[in-house]
Amino acid sequence: MNQGKLVVFSAPSGSGKTTVVRHLLASDNLPLAFSISATTRAPRGNEVDGKDYYFLAPSDFKSKISQGHFLEWEEVYPGQFYGTLKSEVDRLWAQGKAVLFDIDVIGGLAIKRQFPSETLAVFVQPPDLETLYDRLRRRKTEDQAALARRIKKAPEEMAHASSFDVILINDQLEQTLDKATHLVKDFLNNNS
């Protein structure tokens, strides 16, 4: 793989990482491109294949695993796989862009391990678990069973925060977005 820079944002569901990533992608002065993850879960709401995710059948996903097509992958929830295709990262690097990830905690750490000096790994953390649970309930994107799985998994994901380069506490959204922009800009401007 031709190496460029990688910017990873990971967090428990409901922490605000997707909001931060969308803000960064909308910035005109950051040379970022979004890494579209592959998943076996069904699309939610208005999600589009090839834009939000590459939606794959479980058999297709497992075939790509066995053929070595993934940079990283994980069974995030029972029967729900997520991963980053090597071809996706190569495609974005070929465009001269730094690759921006909105990815689960284990996947984010896997990328950091493979590309330690090329990766900025940011953990977006809610101010506390109760705030996180409230955000998850208010967004109403999952049924009760999926919501319960996400709430159960959050403390386990939070335990990995110290393994990231930066912990970004998402308490005041505007401040969080400013901090994220400065972190990424500084990382991309550092040529070492």
Q: Say which range, 65-69, 75-79, 98-102, has the weakest mean pLDDT.
A: 75-79
Q: Categorize the per-residue pLDDT at 8 as very low, low, confident or very high, splitting at 50, 70 and 90.
A: very high
Q: CA 172 to CA 174: how far, in whole Å?
A: 6
Q: What is the mean pLDDT of residues 33-40?
A: 96
Q: CA 137 to CA 124: how far, in whole Å?
A: 18
Q: Give the pLDDT of residue 128.
A: 80
Q: CA 178 to CA 46: how far, in whole Å?
A: 28
Q: CA 2 to CA 92: how far, in whole Å?
A: 10
Q: Taking the domains of the chain in order of start, what are their residue ranges? A: 6-189
- Which fold is adopted by the domain 6-189? Rossmann fold (3.40.50)
Contact 119, 10 (CB under 8 A): no
Mean pLDDT of the chain: 90
Helix or strand holding residue 7 (H, E): strand 6-10
pTM of the entire predicted model: 0.87
Ramachandran sector of residue 99 (left: φ over 0; alpha: ψ -120 to 50; beta: rest): beta
| pLDDT(46) > 70 | yes
Q: Give the pLDDT of residue 137.
A: 72
Contact 133, 151 (CB under 8 A): yes
Model pLDDT for residues 83-96, shown as the tens digit of each residue: 999 999 999 999 99
Model pLDDT for residues 121-176, shown as the tens digit of each residue: 999 998 887 777 777 777 666 677 777 777 777 878 889 999 999 999 998 999 99
